[in-house]
Structure formats: structure tokens, C-alpha cells
A and B are shown apart, each in its own frame.
Chain A
Amino acid sequence: MWKTIKRWYHQLGSPRYFYRFCEAVLPWLVPVSLALLAVGLIWGLVYAPVERYQGDSYRIIYIHVPASSGALMGYIAMGVAGLVALVWRMKMAEVMLKALAPFGAALAAVSLLTGALWGKPTWGTYWQWDARMTSMLILLFLYLGIMALQNAIRDPRQAARAAALLAVVGVINVVIVKYSVEWLNTLHQGATLKVVGESSIDASMKWPLLISMAGLWLLYAANVLIRARTEVLSRERRSGWVRRLVRDEEA
């Protein structure tokens, strides 16, 4: 097991191998993610029953929860990539750190926007400075800060190190987002989906939610692979394999 992980780490750490991995995975990852997203959203919007108190406004859950969880998972992945980049100085970790940020930022923005549009018809307000919402706003700013650092510093390795440090320490905020609704009193309710124990959502509403969640996460993965592949090509543009590749594609 450990050996397999180690081999993967070294293979995917090689830009050329990583490029081939993307070529193999992306052709099915994109259609699978879009299909799951379509099934989950149509099921949730058209076929799922209405919620007893919230009526149809609850249907925003099918984008709000996948986007919020995706933004949080993406940030955790950036924290891991940041740690590997800082300690092992692995180039591919720097590439992943750069590739993970833009879509994660978009999902954090989607989470905030859809949350506001859901809050108005249910709570009666678009926005309150409660701990869950404020920490989610900080998550968006952390994503934007990492992107700004990556673009503001000329030397790509310097830029990657600065961004990596922010990514690692920002993981603390993910913990705050997750537990704010348990440790503090907030307007936002507690978690519905639970990894351990029974989720407090009826099965007729849960399945479309899980499917659209899987779809959006996989779409995030596809976006990251596309961005990372571009970054690899750009960084390795002087190497023989990239030149041969481009020439073969032209021929």
C-alpha cells in the first residue's frame, strides 16, 4: 500500500508522466462529471419532493452544498500541496497549488451567492455577520490572496513558496468554517450530511444531492487537471518532450 502511494507520488511528480496521466483521465473525467451533475440537478430540481417548511426554495441546496463542500475540499488539497511544496520543494506540488485556486475561488463565491439567495426566502435576510458566513467569506479571500501572490511575484518558485505558506496556514480557517455552527451560536444551522451517523435529510432528497456533489467535485478535478496540464506545458516549454509533443500534434 505505502509502496504504491510512494510510486504514484514519484510518477505523478514527473511532469511528463503527469501529462500522460491527464491525457488518459480527462477524456472520461469531463463527460462523467457533467453527466453526474446533470442527473443530480435535474433529479433535485424536477423530481425531488418539496420541503415541508421551506417549500421549493430548498432546491438551492443542490448547488449550495456541492459548491461549499467543493471549496472546502479544494482548500484542504491546497494545504496538502502547500506542505509538500514547502518541505519537499516538489515542482508538481507548486503546479497543483496554482491549478487548485481559481475553481476553488469560484466555488466559494457560488457558495456565498447561493447562500444569500437561499437565506432571503427562509431566514428573512441575505446576509448576517455570523461565524459560518464570515469564515466562508474569509475562505474566498484566502483563495483570492493565494491567486494574487502567485501572479504578483515574478520568480515562479518564490511566488509558489509564498502561496504555499498562505495555503498551509489558511487550513485553520477551514476548521473554523466546519465547526463554527457547533462551537458558536450562528444563524446557519448545523451539518445535514454526516460522514458518520445518519444524515438528517430524507432519502428522496439526499440521493440527488450526493450525485450532484460527486459531479461538481469531479468537474473541479477536471478543471484542476486542465489547468495543471497547461502549467506543466508552460513551465516545460524548453524541454524536448514538450517540443516533440507540440510538433507531433501539428503534423
Chain B
Amino acid sequence: MNPVRKQRLFVVLAVLAGLAVAVGLAVYALRQNINLFYTPQQIVNGEAPVGAKMRVGGLVEDGSVQRDPDTLDVVFTVTDGKGSFAIHYQGILPDLFREGQGVVANGTLVSRDRFEADEVLAKHDETYMPPEVQDALEKAGHPGSKPGAKEEDAGYPKGDYD
């Protein structure tokens, strides 16, 4: 390669590398703002400010959903295996809301173990299968058949966030 081109290549790659490092550091430093939600572990560890508006996310614990028969009130526990707390919500839950699946809730952290949500969104995992396949897996007692049976299947938690 002739020296002029070699120099140009070096300059372009240096600019790219420098910018990549800068962006990487910025994302790392701002990750708490870029992350969409606080995890149960962070809530339990007191990393989230009590009384503030925020988003939280986690897996709906199996058997924890309690619906009030007269109103739209619903209470459920979210967990990430390292901590858990209760979410109180009044309203219609999305179709994909179910035990063992992930949710993201928008609202206020009233105390370390109680979150009052204005909005509840359902996460879904990256697996796609027809109902028959799901039934067959369940009959065979396959561990992957039950949503949330393997925590990483539902996208929670994906390792440590800090």
C-alpha cells in the first residue's frame, strides 16, 4: 500500500477507534439512564430512590398474582432471583401478561418493597413456537416448555448490571 493511503487508513481507523472508546465510556457512565428499568436486585439494595417516578422490571413470580374480584386492582410480585417486591396496579393488563413472564412497570416506588404502577408492559422472550409444540414439550416435561423455568429464557436477568 502506498504511504499516503496507509496514512489515510491509519487516520480513519484512529478516528473510529477514538470515537468508539468515547461512545463506549459514555454509554457505560450513563447506563443507569440508558437502562430502561431498575431490577428487583437494585430495588432491594436500595439503589433506586424511594418516592420517585421510575420504571422497574422483572419476572412475575409464579402464583403471586392476586386480582380483586370487584375492581381492576391487581397485586403481583416481581423477582429476578436476587430480590423481589410487590407491584400494585389498577387497570387492564396487556395480553402477554402472565406468571413467569417478564414485565416492565412505570410508576412510583412507595417503599423498598411496594411499587405503585400507572402502566404495566409485558416483555416477551425471544422464543417463538406454535401452541402444539408447547403442549408436546410440556407433556415430555421439557424444562424449556414452561416460561420462566429457565430465567435467561425470559430475558431476566442477563447477568450483573453493575
Q: Do chains A and B touch in the complex (CB under 8 A)?
A: yes
Q: Which residues of A contact B (CB under 8 A)?
A: 49-55, 58, 61, 83, 86-88, 121-125, 128-131, 165, 168-169, 171-172, 175-176, 182-187, 189-192, 200-202, 204-205
Contacts of A129 in B (CB 8 A): 36
User: Which of B8, B119, B130 is close to A202, meaning CB atoms less than 8 Å apart?
Assistant: B130
Chain A residue at minimal CB-CB distance from B131? A52
Chain A residue at minimal CB-CB distance from B158? A182
User: Which of A51, A86, A122, A172 is close to B130, meaning CB atoms less than 8 Å apart?
Assistant: A51
Contacts of A187 in B (CB 8 A): 36, 104, 121, 123
Contacts of B15 in A (CB 8 A): 165, 168-169
Could you tell me if A124 and B94 are in contact, using CB atoms closer than 8 angstroms? Answer: yes
Could you tell me if B126 and A192 are in contact, using CB atoms closer than 8 angstroms? Answer: yes
List 11 A-B residue pairs with CB atoms under 8 Å apart, sorted by A's residue number. Answer: A52-B131, A54-B96, A58-B128, A123-B96, A130-B36, A131-B34, A165-B15, A175-B20, A187-B36, A202-B133, A205-B130
Q: Which residues of B contact A (CB under 8 A)?
A: 5, 8-9, 12, 15-16, 19-20, 23, 27, 31, 34-37, 39, 57, 93-96, 98, 101, 104, 119-134, 147, 155, 158, 161
Could you tell me if B130 and A49 are in contact, using CB atoms closer than 8 angstroms? Answer: yes
Could you tell me if A184 and B35 are in contact, using CB atoms closer than 8 angstroms? Answer: yes
Could you tell me if A87 and B9 are in contact, using CB atoms closer than 8 angstroms? Answer: yes
Could you tell me if B12 and A205 are in contact, using CB atoms closer than 8 angstroms? Answer: no
A125 to B35, CA, bound (A): 17
Contacts of B93 in A (CB 8 A): 124
Contacts of A123 in B (CB 8 A): 94, 96, 104, 121-124
Shortest distance from the beta carbon of B43 to any chain A beta carbon, whole Å: 13
Shortest distance from the beta carbon of A84 to any chain B beta carbon, whole Å: 10
Shortest distance from the beta carbon of A131 to any chain B beta carbon, whole Å: 5
A83 to B10, CA, bound (A): 11
Contacts of A83 in B (CB 8 A): 9, 12
Contacts of A53 in B (CB 8 A): 95-96, 98, 101, 124, 147
Could you tell me if B36 and A189 are in contact, using CB atoms closer than 8 angstroms? Answer: no
Contacts of A176 in B (CB 8 A): 23, 27
Contacts of A186 in B (CB 8 A): 35-36
Known pairs A122-B122, A168-B12, A176-B23; A190 contacts B96 (CB<8 A): no
A197 to B121, CA, bound (A): 30
Could you tell me if A122 and B128 are in contact, using CB atoms closer than 8 angstroms? Answer: no
User: Which of A51, A88, A185 is close to B36, meaning CB atoms less than 8 Å apart?
Assistant: A185
Contacts of A172 in B (CB 8 A): 16, 19-20, 23
Contacts of A201 in B (CB 8 A): 127-129
Contacts of B19 in A (CB 8 A): 169, 172
Chain A residue at minimal CB-CB distance from B125? A189
Known pairs A86-B12, A168-B16, A192-B128; A128 contacts B96 (CB<8 A): no
Could you tell me if A54 and B124 are in contact, using CB atoms closer than 8 angstroms? Answer: yes
The residue among B96, B119, B147 with the most chain A CB atoms within 10 A of its own CB is B96
Contacts of B23 in A (CB 8 A): 172, 176
Contacts of A202 in B (CB 8 A): 128-130, 133
Could you tell me if B130 and A50 are in contact, using CB atoms closer than 8 angstroms? Answer: yes
A189 to B36, CA, bound (A): 12
